[in-house]
Structure 1
Amino acid sequence: MKKILILHTGGTIAMKEDKATGAVAPDKENPLHSTTSELSKIATIYVEEVFQLPSPHITPIEMLILKDIIDKKVQEDNIDGVVITHGTDTLEETAYFLDLTAQSTIPIVVTGAMRSSNELGSDGPYNLISSVRVAASDAAIGKGVLVVLNDEIHTAKNVTKTHTSNIATFQSPQYGPLGIVTKRGVSFHHTPLLRESYDIQTINKNVLLLKAYAGMDDLIFKAMETVSFDGLVIEALGQGNLPPKMVNGIESLIKRGIPVVLVSRCFNGFVSDTYGYKGGGKQLKEMGAILSNGLNGQKARIKLLITLETTNDSTRLQELFLR
């Protein structure tokens, strides 16, 4: 049987609802431990309780700890796959961080739940079982970090949370899932063509994220002059365009050597240097802004945090963000 390591980090999947108040919070004991016997029919299971944190409490520091644990266990214990249980609010960011940094091709699966363990229709145990099945599948090897919920298998790069409470919240706009989990087995119907890997040991940079809106000006950039940060991601309009009053602020940041990455606030499509008017993508790229290749804002921030650990050359960063 395959050796599968389960790393628990907290989140709704590990919480209970107080029936008197309706509040959902961590319980004294992780309710997922009761599923271990069922999982042992699928694989040889090893369990570690790494954190007990709601996902809004997760930072890149915890993500790096998970990466280090996985790399160590692969080398020392020859595990065949990893499943990480995680809160859903930042699940996609942790999954993408691991996708970029974990130094192994074994299946790494991140899962969560939208309903706590004692709610009617709790989805946590089922998602965990599905994730172990995927992690134990030979077909999952080399496909990067995967996100498994609601019978669907998604890539860490493309998946995002699309609904605040629906159990089908995780979707991959533009691309769809890689595969499905059924009673018959694990089935993949397409596969990613590109894997990126950055062997980082630390995560020390500070990258900010802004969302553009109609009429936005450079006031926020003036306020940011008193803040120490290493990079900025902007969710721009459309194909990577911004209101003209933002341009001077962006130009000032680029001249200071602070990389500015543009993504779109749209769910689908890429940013491009199409429009040549003031604030258009063409002008911004010529100014030195970095265009991203379809990432959403939160994932572009994760990627910039990681790539800045390897280079701060704007030309090289542009190459990396077009992958």
Structure 2
Amino acid sequence: MAASSSTVAPGALPRITILATGGTIAGKANANSAVGYTAGQATAQDLIDAVPGLDKIATLQAVQISNIGSQDMNDQVWLDLAHKIDEIFAGDQADGVVVTHGTDTIEETAFFLDHVVASDKPVVLVGSMRPSTALSADGPANLRSAVQVAADSQARGRGTMVVLNDTIHGAKDVTKSNTTSVQTFTSPNSGPIGHVDAAAVQFAGPATTQPRLTFPVPGKAPLPHVDIVYSHAGMDATQVDDALGHGALGIVLAGVGDGNTAKPVVDALSAAAKRGVLVVRSSRVGSGSVVRNAELNDDELGTVSALGLNPAKSRILLQLLLSDGITDVAKVQQAFGDS
């Protein structure tokens, strides 16, 4: 899809479409528990109605895509989101899109959309750490911030973003870092790309002029089968054998340190790579880059280095590459460098 060049008419409010998928931001407290709640109970319109003055920031339209906890996020919902966003932007129905989403897998959905939505109009994902009925729910303030960012002219050309707790993150690096804190999202390798408050949106720098790596929206769900193998002390090749036995076309290693793992696992992964299975070395550490041909010789093993991508995002990129018919190891490595 070609990038849109439309602009907001002078004096008119930006048009923002809110696509709701569920999550804690749409959750309601469980009467039988002091801390428990049920995700995905409030509707898109409920979320809008909970934020006084939101209609003064943008002209809003709400669409319910799903209403699930993000632990249940799946390929079909990803495709539904991508197709709906493409439809909205291709038809010039909005100047930006906000997706409400649970925080557990928000970074994965953001990364997927960043790589299949080619428009330069902003897509902003937002969630909350506390349900809508909590004493100090963070969802309304987060939603207001997300709409502010999506409505800001400076947001164009920045791809998909995640906004929570007054902080703007890019899709490539953002990750959840704490189980319950409202300040859970960080970008450990690059830092946030901006901040937002009630008065203004402030980006740390201009949008990049470098084209984003994007793929056609995959034709159908599920996406190609890619498994993550988690490295640990005392490990053998069982996880690798199990992934191959279940038909994995790709394997991502969540390795120790610089993408390393036990020798039996290295041998099994290399053998799989030489049979045509795409194998990517990532790390369980949480920050830093997995350096190609450093701790392990990727050239000899036939493997790909994830560089700065964590295992979950490495899996998605590998799925998109496989969906697009890209299986050459050198081209796959180039994609990880361009991601």
- Shorter-normalised TM range: over 0.9
Alpha-carbon distance in 2 for matches of 1:6, 1:175: 28
Q: How far does the alpha carbon of each residue in 1:186-243 deviate from its partner, in whole angstroms, 9 at most, with x for none?
A: 0001356442211233253011011111232212223334211211101112222222
SS at match of 2:88: helix
Alpha-carbon distance in 1 for matches of 2:207, 2:320: 21
Q: Are residue 74 (structure 1) and residue 89 (structure 2) matched?
A: yes
Alpha-carbon distance in 2 for matches of 1:221, 1:42: 51
Q: Post-superposition shift, 1:246?
A: 1.3
Q: Are residue 292 (structure 1) and residue 306 (structure 2) matched?
A: yes
Q: Letter of the aligned partner of 2:238 in structure 1?
A: L
Q: Letter of the aligned partner of 1:91 in structure 2?
A: I
Aligned to 1:264: 283
Q: Are residue 111 (structure 1) and residue 126 (structure 2) matched?
A: yes
Aligned-residue CA RMSD (Å) = 1.7
Aligned to 2:164: 149
CA contact (8 A) 1:158 1:175 kept: yes
Q: Are residue 252 (structure 1) and residue 271 (structure 2) matched?
A: yes
Q: Post-superposition shift, 1:48?
A: 0.6
For structure 2, the 5+ residue unaligned runs are: 1-12
Q: How far does the alpha carbon of each residue in 1:6-41 deviate from its partner, in whole angstroms, 9 at most, with x for none?
A: 001000100110233343114365541423662111
SS at match of 2:114: helix
The two structures have a TM-score, normalised by structure 1, of 0.93
Q: Letter of the aligned partner of 2:321 in structure 1?
A: T
Alpha-carbon distance in 2 for matches of 1:18, 1:292: 40
Among 292, 309, 320, the residue aligned to 1:306: 320
Q: How far does the alpha carbon of each residue in 1:39-81 deviate from its partner, in whole angstroms, 9 at most, with x for none?
A: 1110110101110011011112211110110000111243100
CA contact (8 A) 1:107 1:144 kept: yes
Among 61, 65, 76, the residue aligned to 1:50: 65
SS at match of 2:120: coil
Aligned to 2:3: none
For structure 1, the 5+ residue unaligned runs are: none
SS at match of 1:132: helix
Name which of structure 1's ranges 299-308 and 16-25 shifts more when overlaid on structure 2.
16-25
Aligned to 1:222: 241
Aligned to 1:189: 204
SS at match of 1:293: coil
CA contact (8 A) 1:234 1:297 kept: yes
Aligned to 2:37: 24
Q: Letter of the aligned partner of 1:148 in structure 2?
A: V
Alpha-carbon distance in 2 for matches of 1:273, 1:312: 18
Alpha-carbon distance in 1 for matches of 2:165, 2:244: 44
SS at match of 1:183: coil
Alpha-carbon distance in 1 for matches of 2:42, 2:104: 22
